[in-house]
Amino acid sequence: MKLLLKGGRIVNPAQGFDAIADILIENGHIIEMGDQLSAEGAEVFDAQGFVVAPGLIDMHVHLREPGLEAKEDIVSGTRAAAAGGFTTIACMPNTKPVVDSAIIVSGILHRAQYEGVVNVKVIGALSKGQLGTELAEIGDMILTGAVAISDDGSSLNNNSLLKTGLEYTSMFHCPVITHSEDDSLVEDGVMHEGAVSAMLGMKGRPAVAEDIAVARDIMLAEYADAKLHIAHVSSKGAVELIRQAKKKGVNVTAEVTPHHLTLTDEAVKSFDTATKVNPPLRSADHVAALIEGLQDGTIDAIATDHAPHAFEEKDMEYKQAPSGFTGMETALGVILTGLYHTGKLTLLELIERMSTAPARILGLKAGTIEVGSPADITIFDADLEWVVDSSKFYTRGKQTPFDKKALKGKAVATIVNGKFVMRNGEVCT
């Protein structure tokens, strides 16, 4: 099967390329790029006026399978990914059972191969059962295909175990992804600790809890000479700690979510449980620091932390509702609206942080458009205006703080292994 993409604006950060060109795809790979290409028998897609980018990669997703399929499963989650323009996603291990052994990694990869719409990568747990007492089968999981190790969803307070885990994963050149919060400082907190939490009478989660944990994680990674990735950075103190660590040569990378870049704790005034997330939405000074960190390269990647819940779980009092909400179907639009159209990021920078950098961090053969590379491609209209309607989401989790918000920019086609999996907003498979 041949597919010819005609006249799109190809934006490829890996090559520093930004120009109008054609792309010819055959048997799942890019075989030619250039001007005025033609190919007998090829399907032609008119990409004029659209941005053609290396497939977006979401390195922080909760697919909830196995065991929590009422919230999400591989089928619904990968369909949501395709709808949002993502060609590859990496799923976190806090499932039931926890992804802490090679057989579970193998099972997810097998199911995703046959039932997933996009490429699925697996992140294995650092500790057995994510209990923080004993190392999981790290080596076996990596050899089976796990691309990273993490106890995300819980803060690992066992410093000795984290040190050993970092030392062990360093032998495989595999990153450890940490959820950096000091549990003793955030216990029972439901939102950012500050003026808004005081006004609302809600117990807060102080930003210093993140700062302390990030400092600990960086120090242990430096000691172990290991690859560390800080998940969902939300505090200005953490940004500065990561900045200084990079200057010292510590092998640390970091991600930030679309919601932490574009929303503040003011959103919680609505008491809408769709605004409840962990770490919490913070005040404007933290948001400004996150954007600055993204601009100067302190923060490497943008990831959604897509964390869907069943309707009845979020349909309760704010304090009792679980943290997290869906993110893949709004991420590109939110970032284009909040950062590109406001002049805070260029398209090259935006795509680098949503595709090229995640591929580099996870060691994937992805995140680029060049002859010979897999034909995983995202095509989007940077100027398309649309209104978020969560009732039409492909994900099972319909909660989002962006519901009914007007956005500018949207994926119009998603190509995985040379085939359309989403076209004109409709998932094809």
DSSP labels, 183-223? HHHHTT--EESSHHHHHHT--EE-HHHHHHHHHHHHHHHHH
Tell me the pLDDT tens digit for each residue of 52-87: 999 999 999 999 999 999 999 999 999 999 999 999
Secondary structure (3-state) at 253? strand
Mean pLDDT of the region 291-304:
98
Would you identify the CATH topology of the domain 2-51+374-427?
A: Urease, subunit C; domain 1 (2.30.40)
pLDDT above 70 as % of the chain: 100
What are the start and end residues of each CATH 2.30.40.10 domain in the chain? 2-51+374-427
pLDDT tens-place string over residues 79-134 = 999 999 999 999 999 999 999 999 999 999 999 999 999 999 999 999 999 999 99
> Residue 311 has what pLDDT?
93
Confidence label for 197 from pLDDT (cuts 50, 70 and 90): very high
Single-letter residue type at 24: L
Q: What are the tokens at 290? A: 């996150």
pLDDT above 80 (res 335) = yes
CA angle 66, 79, 24 (to 5 degrees): 130
Q: How confident is the model at residue 191 (pLDDT cuts 50, 70, 90)?
A: very high
Q: Average pLDDT for residues 132-160, to the nearest whole number?
A: 94
The phi, psi pair for 365, rounded to 5°, reads -85, 75
pLDDT at 28: 95
DSSP string covering 278-341, please? Answer: SSPP--HHHHHHHHHHHHHTSS-EE---B----HHHHSS-TTTSPS----TTTHHHHHIIIIIT
β-pair type (419-423, 406-416): antiparallel
Is residue 224 scored above 90 in pLDDT? yes
- Asked if pLDDT for residue 155 goes beyond 90, the answer is no
Q: Is the pLDDT of residue 1 over 90?
A: no
Neighbours of 313 (CB within 10 A): 17
Please tell me whether the peptide bond between 97 and the residue prior to it is cis, using omega within 30 degrees of 0: yes
Q: What tokens were used for 315?
A: 């349909």
Q: CB neighbours of 309 closer than 8 A, spacing ≥ 6?
A: 71, 322, 324, 325, 397, 399
Buried b (16+ CB within 10 A) or exposed e, 11-21: bbbbeeeeeeb
Catalytically active residues, by annotation: 305
Residue 21 has pLDDT above 80, yes or no: yes
Would you state the structure tokens that stand for residue 213, as one six-digit string?
A: 């944990």
Q: Is the peptide bond before 93 cis (omega within 30 degrees of 0)?
A: no
Helix ranges (DSSP H) in 85-201: 102-115, 138-144, 159-170, 183-186, 195-200
Q: Torsion-angle region of residue 230: left (phi > 0), alpha (psi -120 to 50) or beta? A: beta
Q: What is the mean pLDDT of residues 283-307?
A: 98
Q: 150: pLDDT confidence band, cut at 50, 70 and 90?
A: very high
pLDDT at 378 over 80: yes
Q: Which CATH homologous superfamily contains domain 55-362?
A: Metal-dependent hydrolases (3.20.20.140)
Cβ-contact 141, 105 below 8 angstroms: yes
User: Could you read off the pLDDT of 363-376 as tens digits, one per residue?
Assistant: 999 999 999 999 99
Do the Cβ atoms of 268 and 191 come closer than 8 Å?
A: yes
DSSP 175: P
Query: What's the pLDDT score for residue 51?
Result: 98
Mean pLDDT of 159-174: 96
Q: What is the mean pLDDT of the chain?
A: 96
Q: Which two tokens stand for residue 332?
A: 């590109």
* 75, 99, 180, 208, 315 from 319: Cα distances, Å: 31, 28, 22, 21, 11
What is each CA distance from 24 to 1, 11, 81, 365, 373, in whole angstroms?
11, 16, 24, 19, 12
**What is the predicted pLDDT for the residue at 309?**
97
Radius of gyration of the chain, Cα coordinates, nearest whole angstrom: 20
Supply φ then ψ for residue 95, to 5 degrees. -110, -175
> Among candidates 275, 274, 282, which has minimal Cα distance to 256?
282
pLDDT at 38: 87
User: Residue 220 is encoded by which pair of tokens?
Assistant: 């242990």
pLDDT grade for 26, boundaries at 50, 70 and 90: very high
The whole-number average pLDDT for the span 235-248 is: 98
Q: What is the pLDDT of residue 426?
A: 96
Say what the pLDDT of residue 323 is: 95
Q: What is the pLDDT of residue 297?
A: 97
